[in-house]
């Protein structure tokens, strides 16, 4: 075992992509990182929160067999530190005294030399750790080769008390393992929290965050260090793995990082796009799909999803299908073909007229005497959904769903039709953001993306008015407000939870706001059945916003039809009944 004087410490940040449940694979990543860190002269390698289990493990962590397997992996890794090389600080579930903790284990000299348990368990937004873990006791620092290191875990630094306790019990610096998911501007929030703790206690801080996609959550990395004066000591890249050793030297009463790396942050819309690509890539790869299939309609949502899929997986793993009907314009056919050519993907045309007309014929007697309405429109979407699912079944390709947040907010989607699929990279992007990211991708490509440079989404797709093409000359804004208005109202209703009166006071038409709020509530039934998708906003549909489906509250104060009326009279219930 190598050792250094207590006035020098080489700490390696293992900003890595773990997989929930892949204990053996995660342990191999620990071994690889230890080998790389040894070559860099590291004394200690720090891994993200719950790394050996993958984060977040949700209720999987309650399985005794899973707990035992995580513990066995940690004990094996501990024994391996008897050989020359750095010590390890690894996150893991840990059962102690009959309680399950979110823990970190210090592995050094062939043994588990220290354990620390997370104290502040987050229970808001995407987090529900109180459901599965017990809160640990207030911690003191660990003594590592003559240096007293405080090891608060993720949320433990979001308040003052735990860091204050570590400072009062002699910590010289903080090393913080994290599983902090991405959402827009989250990096600024993390940095400000860390700066606040350093300002209060004067302890240099190393913040190690994981990267990768886990279902709807994306972890962006951007691990960093702060000196005692709150200056940035180092910063690692976003949306990419990194094994980087930083050199820390004692200077008087504090520690200084010498020549720490500084990687520029990925910000704003570029970060959103990179998050969507990473989320799609990890969902497909970690779940073992050889590739994906996408219904390429000639519209902007499917075009952006296709671009993201190619950036994530490469063109050879993306198959696009155009499924025209009599309402499909030649312009849509041309645009879809141009987009497929620009991306270099496999592309084919499967007309849906035989399927739609066959369904209408089968239903003719059941629908006798009824006028044509949205039902027949939805048959088109469901025929397309069935074709895509058949291709998925036959070739084991995952269907990429392409509905944006604006559509899913107001129910502008067809159950078992265009909502079919396994994952949706644009699920948390409003339509206005889909337009912006499409323009962005034509001018820029994220690091590591596998798609081509240059324009990949034809300009006509971006400038053409959006349409579902389920009837003649249909436009989205025939039945919806302009997206600039709709998205602004939805952002206030969904992300900010603003009351209708506040939104109206901001200058929006009350009738439109009331209508949008009503549509938002009714569409909960659809959203509950939607595919998972990447979280990029403060509040996504799924892990963040969990509203009841059966819900008769309306902020507008407008009367709702009584239960009897909604069942018997039919017409009043049209404004409140589920729309399939």
Spatial distance between the Cα atoms of 288 and 117, rounded to a whole number of angstroms: 33
Greatest alpha-carbon pair distance for the chain in Å reads 89
Tokens of 172: 């010289």
CB contact set of 120 (below 8 Å; sequence gap of 6+): 135, 155, 156, 158, 159, 162
How many other β-carbons are positioned within 10 Å of the β-carbon of residue 339? 29
Q: Quick one: pLDDT band at residue 576, thresholds 50, 70, 90?
A: low
Overall average pLDDT of the 92-112 stretch: 96
DSSP assignment string, 64-107: HHHHHHHHHHHHHHHHHTTSSS-EEEEEEEEEETTEEEEEEEEE
Q: Name the more confident of 562 and 193.
A: 193
Q: Name the more confident of 243 and 265.
A: 243
CB contact set of 357 (below 8 Å; sequence gap of 6+): none
How many other β-carbons are positioned within 10 Å of the β-carbon of residue 5? 9
Spatial distance between the Cα atoms of 83 and 79, rounded to a whole number of angstroms: 8
Overall average pLDDT of the 177-196 stretch: 93
Pick the catalytic residue from 12, 13, 70, 154. Answer: 154
C-alpha 357: how far from its chain's center?
39
Residue range 24-77, pLDDT digits in tens: 999 999 999 999 999 999 999 999 999 999 999 999 999 999 999 999 999 999
Note the residue count of the chain.
Answer: 580
Residue range 332-362, pLDDT digits in tens: 999 999 999 999 999 999 999 999 999 999 9
| Lowest-confidence region among 2-6, 293-297, 409-413, 509-513 | 2-6
Is 75 labeled as catalytic in the residue annotation?
no
Overall average pLDDT of the 139-164 stretch: 94
Pick the catalytic residue from 29, 70, 118, 186. Answer: 118
The pLDDT mean for the chain works out to 91
Is 49 labeled as catalytic in the residue annotation?
yes
- For 229, 244, 358, the CA distances from 36, given in Å and listed in that order, are 31, 9, 61
Q: Quick one: pLDDT band at residue 185, thresholds 50, 70, 90?
A: confident
The yes-or-no verdict on residue 569 having pLDDT over 50 is: no
Q: From 3.40.50.620, 2.60.40.1170, 3.40.50.720, 3.40.50.2300, which CATH number describes the 270-575 domain?
A: 3.40.50.620
The yes-or-no verdict on residue 543 having pLDDT over 90 is: no
pLDDT at 565: 37
Pick the catalytic residue from 13, 49, 276, 498. Answer: 49
pLDDT at 476: 63
Is 168 labeled as catalytic in the residue annotation?
no
pLDDT at 110: 96
pLDDT at 556: 74
Residue range 103-130, pLDDT digits in tens: 999 999 999 999 999 999 988 878 888 8
The yes-or-no verdict on residue 469 having pLDDT over 70 is: no
The CATH architecture one would assign to domain 8-265 is 4-Layer Sandwich (3.60)
Are 345 and 319 in contact by the 8 Å Cβ rule? The answer is yes
Measure the CA dihedral 339/342/347/352, to 10°. 10
Structural domain spans, the chain: 8-265, 270-575
């Amino acid at each position: 075992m190598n050792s250094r004087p207590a006035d020098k410490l080489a700490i390696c940040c293992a900003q890595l992509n773990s997989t929930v449940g892949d204990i053996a694979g995660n342990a191999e990543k620990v071994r690889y990182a230890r080998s790389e860190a040894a070559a860099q002269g590291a004394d200690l390698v720090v891994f993200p929160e719950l790394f050996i289990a993958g984060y977040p493990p949700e209720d999987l962590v309650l399985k005794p067999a899973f707990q035992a397997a995580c513990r066995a992996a940690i004990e094996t890794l501990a024994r391996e530190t008897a050989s020359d090389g750095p010590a390890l600080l690894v996150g893991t579930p840990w059962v102690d005294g009959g309680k399950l903790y979110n823990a970190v284990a210090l592995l050094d000299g062939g043994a588990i030399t220290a354990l620390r348990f997370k104290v502040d368990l987050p229970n808001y937004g995407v987090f529900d750790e109180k459901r599965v873990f017990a809160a640990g006791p207030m911690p003191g620092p660990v003594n590592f080769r003559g240096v007293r290191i405080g090891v608060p875990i993720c949320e433990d630094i979001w308040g003052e008390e735990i860091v204050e306790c570590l400072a009062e019990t002699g910590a010289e610096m903080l090393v913080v393992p994290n599983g902090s998911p991405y959402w827009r501007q989250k990096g600024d929030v993390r940095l400000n929290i860390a700066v606040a703790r350093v300002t209060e206690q004067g302890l240099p801080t190393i913040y190690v965050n994981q990267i990768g996609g886990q279902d709807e959550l994306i972890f962006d990395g951007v691990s960093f260090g702060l000196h005692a004066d709150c200056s940035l000591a180092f910063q690692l890249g976003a949306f990419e793995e990194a094994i980087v050793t930083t050199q820390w030297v004692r200077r008087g009463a504090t520690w200084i990082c010498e020549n720490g790396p500084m990687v520029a942050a990925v910000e704003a819309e570029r970060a959103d796009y990179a998050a969507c690509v990473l989320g799609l890539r990890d969902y497909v790869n970690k779940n073992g799909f050889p590739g994906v299939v996408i219904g390429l309609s000639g519209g902007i949502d499917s075009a952006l999803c296709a671009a993201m899929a190619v950036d994530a997986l490469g063109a050879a793993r993306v198959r696009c299908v155009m499924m025209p009907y009599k309402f499909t314009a030649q312009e849509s056919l041309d645009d879809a073909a141009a987009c497929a050519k620009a991306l270099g993907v496999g592309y084919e045309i499967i007309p849906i007229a035989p399927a739609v007309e066959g369904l209408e014929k089968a239903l003719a007697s059941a629908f006798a005497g009824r006028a044509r309405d949205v039902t027949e429109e939805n048959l088109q979407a469901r025929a397309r959904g069935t074709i895509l699912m058949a291709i998925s079944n036959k070739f084991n390709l995952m269907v990429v769903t392409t509905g944006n947040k604006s559509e899913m907010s107001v129910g502008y989607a067809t159950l078992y039709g265009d909502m079919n699929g396994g994952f949706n990279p644009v699920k948390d992007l409003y339509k206005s953001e889909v337009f912006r990211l499409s323009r962005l991708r034509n001018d820029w490509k994220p690091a590591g993306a596998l798609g081509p440079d240059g324009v990949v989404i034809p300009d006509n797709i971006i400038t053409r008015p959006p349409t579902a093409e389920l009837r003649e000359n249909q436009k989205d804004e025939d039945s919806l407000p302009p997206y600039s208005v709709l998205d602004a109202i939805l952002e206030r209703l969904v992300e900010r939870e603003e009351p209708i009166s506040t939104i109206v006071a901001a200058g929006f038409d009350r009738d439109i706001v009331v209508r949008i709020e009503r549509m938002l509530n009714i569409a909960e039934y659809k959203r509950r059945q939607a595919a998972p998708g990447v979280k990029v906003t403060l509040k996504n549909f799924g892990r963040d916003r969990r509203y009841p489906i059966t819900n008769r509250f309306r902020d507008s104060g407008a009367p709702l039809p009584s239960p009897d009326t909604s069942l018997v009279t039919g017409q009043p219930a049209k404004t409140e009944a589920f729309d399939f």
